[in-house]
Amino acid sequence: MSETVIDGQTHPARVTRRGTVLPYLLSLPALLVCIGILVPFFTAAYYSLEAYNMAFPAGRHFVGIGNYIDLFTSSDFLHTIAVSMIYMGASVILELLLGLGIAMLLRERTRINNIISVALLLPLMVAPVIASLIWKLMTNPNFGVYAWIVNGLGFTGFRWASDPSTAMFSVVLIDIWVNTPFIMILLLAGLRSLPTQPFEAARLDGVPARFVFFRITLPMLMPYIITATLFRLLSAIQEFSIVYGMTQGGPGNALMVFQVRAYVDFYQNTNVGRSAAILMVLWAITFVLSKLFVNQWHKMRERNHAGA
């Protein structure tokens, strides 16, 4: 068995054992369940190639990539892509920064730090759809406590989710509230599991804090950052409940992100073909993103395991 030794520590390597049927046996049940779920995926893919509207059952016919051409030439859909990207980018970046900051602050294993880190998990336990309802009430200019506070601070006329220019801000804020704890806990776990020697050595050598952070902490933390980012990116671009609960995609089209648009197209406009096409495009984007990240993750792990 090959091992690598760094700083006197032994790092385990994966066992290469060819020709046994065991790994397949172990992973097959999971795969079988997964395949059952893939069947509707292919059904949806087929629907996306049809002009299929539930209100016109007689008019259903095959159109190949017709739906896709319609989508990419419609400004509404391009707007959906833009809005989804903005939502995804804004929430994930802000959550990462905030989560990292909080994790750094809570790094030491003190009693109070532990209490705070568990308490901060509470927002994660409120279902996003309900968080949206509660924030809707809190930002209601007639009764909402947040609206009252913001008004008191002098920002009268701040319209939260009912104005296109501030709607995105409002839902991203809710998303940050709900999801930062997830990133925080992941990064905290990472921070606490880092080896102490490099940091002690740096302290003894009088290395400035900034250097330590960027050259030592961050690189070692990368696998965690990548894991957190991957999961959050995938969730954010597919966000449904927060946006739907708050404005159903409005005001105007300000928040028509992918899944909200697909949901509305399916249930209100009963346009199955177009709804399926929108979801396929979403899937393609997430597929590419995941591949990128997973590759990056593997590289990180190899590097960490193989030593500096």
Q: Which two tokens stand for residue 127?
A: 């279902």
Minimum Å gap between C-beta 130 and another protein is 6
Q: Which of 61, 215, 299, 301 binds another protein (CB under 8 A)?
A: 301
Q: Which of 62, 97, 114, 169 binds another protein (CB under 8 A)?
A: 114
Q: Which two tokens stand for residue 33?
A: 């369940």
Q: Which of 4, 54, 78, 155 binds another protein (CB under 8 A)?
A: 54
- Look at phi and psi of residue 19 and say left if phi exceeds 0, alpha if psi is from -120 to 50, else beta: left
Regarding 52 and contact with another protein (CB under 8 A), the answer is no
Choices 34-42, 84-92, 211-219; region in contact with another protein by CB under 8 A: 34-42
Minimum Å gap between C-beta 83 and another protein is 13
> Which residues, numbered 228-287, are part of the site for another protein (CB under 8 A)?
231, 234, 238, 240-241, 246-253, 258-259, 262-264, 266-270, 272, 275-276, 279-280, 282-283, 286-287
Nearest CB to another protein, comparing residues 93 and 292: 292
HEC assignment per residue over 231-246 = HHHHHHHCCCHHHHHH
Regarding 123 and contact with another protein (CB under 8 A), the answer is yes
**If you search the block for the tokens 């927002």, which residue do you land on?**
123
Regarding 160 and contact with another protein (CB under 8 A), the answer is yes
Contacts 24+ apart (CB under 8 A), 194-202: 194/220, 194/221, 195/7, 195/9, 197/7
Choices 18-26, 85-93, 211-219; region in contact with another protein by CB under 8 A: 18-26
Q: Which of 8, 16, 73, 204 binds another protein (CB under 8 A)?
A: 16
Regarding 22 and contact with another protein (CB under 8 A), the answer is yes
| Distance (Å, whole) CA 180 – CA 101 | 11
DSSP bridge pairs for 6: 9
Cis peptide bond N-terminal to 23, omega within 30: no
| Distance (Å, whole) CA 193 – CA 198 | 13
Q: Which of 105, 201, 218, 292 binds another protein (CB under 8 A)?
A: 105
Minimum Å gap between C-beta 220 and another protein is 8
Nearest CB to another protein, comparing residues 36 and 206: 36
Regarding 181 and contact with another protein (CB under 8 A), the answer is yes
Minimum Å gap between C-beta 214 and another protein is 18
Regarding 296 and contact with another protein (CB under 8 A), the answer is no
| Distance (Å, whole) CA 99 – CA 113 | 14
Nearest CB to another protein, comparing residues 28 and 93: 28
| Distance (Å, whole) CA 84 – CA 97 | 20
DSSP strand pairing (50-51 vs 4-6): unpaired
Minimum Å gap between C-beta 78 and another protein is 15
Nearest CB to another protein, comparing residues 93 and 105: 105
Regarding 164 and contact with another protein (CB under 8 A), the answer is yes
CB 206 within 8 A of CB 156: no
In this structure, what DSSP letter does residue 139 have?
T
> Which residues, numbered 71-100, are part of the site for another protein (CB under 8 A)?
none
In total, the chain counts a number of residues equal to 308
Segments in 193-271 forming alpha helices (H): 197-204, 209-212, 218-237, 241-247, 258-267
Minimum Å gap between C-beta 127 and another protein is 4
